Amino acid sequence: MVQPENLGRILDEHPFFAGIPGDLRALLIGCAANERFDIGQFLAREGLPSDKFYLIRAGQVAIEVDVPGKKPIILETAAEGEVIGWSWIVPPYRASFDARAQTLVRALSFDGACLRKKMEADHSLGYEVMRRFVPMMGHRLQTARMQMLDLYGPAVVKARKGKAG
Amino acid sequence: MNAHARNPAPADPMMPHPFRIERVRRELSDTFTMEMVPQSGGGFRFRPGQFNMLYVFGVGEIPISISGDPGDGAVLVHTTRAVGAVSQALDNLKAGDIVGVRGPFGSYWPVEQAFGHDLVFVAGGVGLAPLRPAIYQAMANRERFGKVVVLYGARTPADILFRKELEKWRGRFDMNVMVTVDRVAGKWNSDVGVVTNLVAKGGFDPLHATAFVCGPEVMMRYVALALEKRGVALSSVWLSMERNMKCGCGLCGHCQWGSDFVCKDGPVFRYDQIADRLSVREL
Amino acid sequence: MPGFDSPAAAAVVLDKGGLDGLIAGLGAGGFRVIGPTVSGDAVVYDDITSVKDLPAGWGDEQQGGRYRLVKRQDGALFGYTAGAQGWKRHLYPPRQTLFTARRKDKGYEVLPPPPAPPPMAFIGVRACELAAMAVHDRVFGDKTAPEPGYQRRRAAAFVVAVECGQAGGTCFCASMGTGPEVTAGFDIKLVELPARGVFVATAGSSAGADMLARLKVAAATEADKAEAARRVAGARPAKIMDTAQARGLQAKAEHSRWDEVAKRCLTCGNCTMVCPTCFCSSVEDSTDLKGETSERTRTWDSCFSIDFSYIHGGAVRTQARSRYRQWITHKLSAWHDQFGGSGCVGCGRCITWCPVGIDITEEVAAIAASDQGR
């Protein structure tokens, strides 16, 4: 069992909650747990209850969607210093995508139900959490839109005369 | 007659010089690299970021940036994506064939101006080709810089240009290379996501960084925003613009943009000097 | 103007016979003589061999979208204002062969160019047209890439300027600082005194002085000079372009007036074809049927065509508003930064020859009058 003071140190090492007031930090730590995922393990499964989010401490996570008959499509990756999961804030608290460990992943997880209750009771905690999640969600939205642009264009299909480079 | 009749006739900037293709290398399904030498002997000097007008007999002429090493004046290297009639005609040429060359034209990546800074290259798609000469120049003067960082975004893993070279660079201790792709299915353990994400992650000191950005215009606009968000001075960000060009030397008017000709005042511009223009539609 | 030396310019008077002698003398001196002549109900600048080719007794009536030749009672040879097209078509022709090449082995060889055509002498160049030539001298005189064909034709050209005796309906040279007085850039300047059928002539270069010296002339009296000065004083146009407002266009890229003018503009490009300073060109390749010989040709192009801004995948300027804005902001605004002056000389041709009569001076005034925008 990881002691709360160790969880606090881990929390401080990650940029996501940097600058949060001490009393609110203590409330956060009360909902936190230290976790590790081996390669191929899932941090979240699309459609299943998702009552957690993760601050990634080490390793890389693929956010992906499974396509029957094809290989899963990776939409984005997240690594050390980043955050995975916002479905815990939005009812009905189900994950929108799969999140799969591409490497050994170490993460600090937070129990969504636990945190929601504390945020409801202490709106200043709610504000401090939301003001960090909104930019993260905005960033995800922006990058998703940029991917939709298909900036570099599809490969040009042209009739080649059986010529190799 | 008046006095300027006595001046000798200047060389015609519209007359191409014949170059012989020495080698053609396929880079991607639609992208290839040609090495060529002047038919009349001698070499070719240029600065990183400059371009040539390449003429294919009977077909036409297009602007193509130079992708080779500016330190190697013996051979001229161009990397081209076959998207139009002339570039596809270029793609059909083989070693020994002749290409007409006019140039070099345009402004260049100010590598020397970045001495003392972290140097950040941000490339998207085939935009890595016009940056490669500047990367070579930077690595030839490696001790002059802090970190040298290459951030590269491609569509899929199959669209990564100069992949072997990127892998080689990534293996160096004095270079930081990050590659991301917009989409992938199957095995890929590097980053997935847009290239702006790498700007947020890339290890460099934003207060002492110079960034050279090359890719589609939309990509460069977002990269510039990401660099600004990261704290890089807008006067330290340089972009390479693209517009229609028929002459390469300010005579044909096609690339006129604001108060500049992209061919001769650009293609490399300092971001803070063009940012206003980038937000005007159809300028 | 570089190149034009300034000998002590003693004004002389020559009659129509003297002018005929000038035209003949230039022809005999190896020049292709080009001057105003009536063709297709308009005054055009084309080959002439004597004063008989000049538009004797013709004037013109110009307004937005309208050009008519009208008979004059005084028989003036230069009684029109600006010709339908300027001298651009001679100094920078609409089609120029860059080179012709023939397939050879795995490449091609460039065929020797045809011998250079003879130098040209221009008769009847107006003040605004001299200003347009000075603009092109800068456009085609870039230090690193001067345009050799233009340089050669321009340097060899003999310029006989004629000062305007009246303003046309669309002219606004005075506000652009380009006329109506002819002050520089000529070998010989003429002021026509139609009532007497004579010209007051001044040399602007030693070549011009040499030419005048060979003609039968009389010294100009003070009265002749005063009469010449009165002629040009009566030629100041009423129409005005506010040059400061014009220069400010670049800052008004989102003005709502662009949408308004786009509703009228047909994007036909007439304005760019008749403009004496528009210089844009394209290059095309034409190959014979066997693919053995190929010619590269430079042709005039217009920023009003969609293809003008094409980059792989599509055109940058798809809308009429963008293309009209490009034309006028480049000419009036960006030109200052690029070439050290305005690209407009106030000749008014773009107004006259616009099929819907769009008036560049009105557009500038309307855009300057408000900040309405997107």
Spatial distance between the Cα atoms of B89 and B94, rounded to a whole number of angstroms = 11
Spatial distance between the Cα atoms of A80 and A74, rounded to a whole number of angstroms = 18
Considering the domain architecture, whether residues B89 and B119 belong to the same structural domain is answered as no
> Which residues contact residue B214 at a Cβ distance below 8 angstroms, ignoring those fewer than 6 apart?
B122, B123, B124, B127, B128, B130, B131, B220, B239, B240
Classify each residue of B235-246 as buried b or exposed e, where b means 16 or more C-beta atoms within 10 Å of its C-beta.
ebbbbbbbbbbb
* Contact (Cβ atoms closer than 8 angstroms) between residue C32 and residue C119: yes
Share of chain A above pLDDT 90, in %: 77
The chain A residues in contact with chain B (CB within 8 A) are 60, 62, 67, 70-77, 79, 81, 102-103, 143, 146-147, 149-156, 158, 161, 164-165
Query: Cis peptide leading into B157, omega within 30 of 0?
Result: no
**What is the pLDDT at residue B8?**
46
**What is the pLDDT at residue B62?**
96
Q: Where are the beta strands (DSSP E) in chain B?
A: 17-28, 31-38, 51-56, 60-65, 76-81, 98-105, 118-124, 148-154, 176-181, 184-185, 191-192, 209-214, 237-240, 256-257, 260-261, 268-270
Contact list, A164 vs chain B (CB under 8 Å)? 26
Q: Would B133 be classed as within a structural domain?
A: yes
H/E run at residue C66: strand C66-71
Q: Do C107 and B97 touch (CB under 8 A)?
A: yes
B139 pLDDT higher than 90: yes
**What is the pLDDT at residue C3?**
46
Nearest to C317 by CA among C271, C256, C262: C262
Name the pLDDT band for C275 (thresholds 50, 70, 90): very high
- From B104's Cα to the closest Cα of chain A, the distance in A is 26
Share of chain B above pLDDT 90, in %: 90
Q: Would B260 be classed as within a structural domain?
A: no
Spatial distance between the Cα atoms of A162 and A159, rounded to a whole number of angstroms = 9
B5 pLDDT higher than 70: no
The residue range of the domain holding B193 is 112-240
Q: Would B6 be classed as within a structural domain?
A: no
Spatial distance between the Cα atoms of C299 and C287, rounded to a whole number of angstroms = 16
Give the pLDDT confidence of B228-237 residue by residue, as tens digits: 999 999 999 9
Q: How many domains does chain B have?
A: 2
Q: Would B265 be classed as within a structural domain?
A: no
**What is the pLDDT at residue B193?**
92
Name the pLDDT band for B7 (thresholds 50, 70, 90): very low
Least CB–CB distance from A102: residue in B27, B29, B189: B189
Q: Do B1 and C285 touch (CB under 8 A)?
A: no
Mean pLDDT of A41-59: 95
Contact list, B182 vs chain A (CB under 8 Å)? 147, 150-152
The chain B residues in contact with chain A (CB within 8 A) are 24-30, 32, 81-83, 88, 92, 124-126, 153-155, 158-159, 180, 182-186, 188-194, 196-197, 201, 215-216, 218-219, 222
Considering the domain architecture, whether residues B85 and B146 belong to the same structural domain is answered as no
| Residue where a domain terminates, one of B90, B105, B120 | B105
Neighbouring C-beta atoms of residue B278, cutoff 10 Å: 16
C-beta contacts of A15-18 below 8 A and 24+ residues apart = A15/A81, A16/A55, A16/A83, A16/A132, A17/A55, A17/A128, A17/A132
> Which residues contact residue A150 at a Cβ distance below 8 angstroms, ignoring those fewer than 6 apart?
B155, B182
Greater model confidence, B188 or C53: C53
B to C CB pairs, distance under 8 Å: 156
**What is the pLDDT at residue B11?**
79
Name the pLDDT band for A3 (thresholds 50, 70, 90): low
Mean pLDDT of C123-152: 94
List the chains bordering chain B where 3 or more Cβ pairs fall under 8 Å.
A, C
Interface test with B, best of A146, A151, A163 (most B CBs within 10 A): A151
Q: Do B3 and C156 touch (CB under 8 A)?
A: no
Q: Would B253 be classed as within a structural domain?
A: no
Paired tokens of B184 = 């992938």
Q: Would B100 be classed as within a structural domain?
A: yes
Q: Would B271 be classed as within a structural domain?
A: no
Q: Do B125 and A146 touch (CB under 8 A)?
A: no
A162 pLDDT higher than 70: no
Domain boundaries, chain C: 12-233, 243-369
List the chains bordering chain A where 3 or more Cβ pairs fall under 8 Å.
B
**What is the pLDDT at residue C313?**
76
Q: Would B1 be classed as within a structural domain?
A: no
Give the pLDDT confidence of A94-138 residue by residue, as tens digits: 999 999 999 999 999 999 999 999 999 999 999 999 999 999 999
Name the pLDDT band for B201 (thresholds 50, 70, 90): confident
Mean of the per-residue pLDDT values for chain B?
Answer: 94
Give the pLDDT confidence of B95-130 residue by residue, as tens digits: 999 999 999 999 999 999 999 999 999 999 999 999
Spatial distance between the Cα atoms of A68 and A2, rounded to a whole number of angstroms = 40
Query: Scanning every residue of chain C, which has its alpha carbon at the shortest distance from the alpha carbon of B243?
Result: C311
> Which residues contact residue C44 at a Cβ distance below 8 angstroms, ignoring those fewer than 6 apart?
C36, C37, C38, C83, C84, C85
CATH of the domain at B81: 2.40.30.10
CATH of the domain at B125: 3.40.50.80
Q: Which domains does chain A have, with CATH numbers?
A: 4-149 (2.60.120.10)
Mean pLDDT of B185-204: 89
Spatial distance between the Cα atoms of C272 and C92, rounded to a whole number of angstroms = 14
* Contact (Cβ atoms closer than 8 angstroms) between residue C66 and residue C75: no
Name the pLDDT band for A2 (thresholds 50, 70, 90): low
**What is the pLDDT at residue A51?**
87
Greater model confidence, B46 or B6: B46
Paired tokens of C186 = 């000529």
Interface test with A, best of B33, B179, B194 (most A CBs within 10 A): B194
Considering the domain architecture, whether residues B116 and B234 belong to the same structural domain is answered as yes
Contact list, C4 vs chain B (CB under 8 Å)? 2-3
Mean of the per-residue pLDDT values for chain C?
Answer: 94
C76 pLDDT higher than 80: yes
Considering the domain architecture, whether residues B227 and B151 belong to the same structural domain is answered as yes
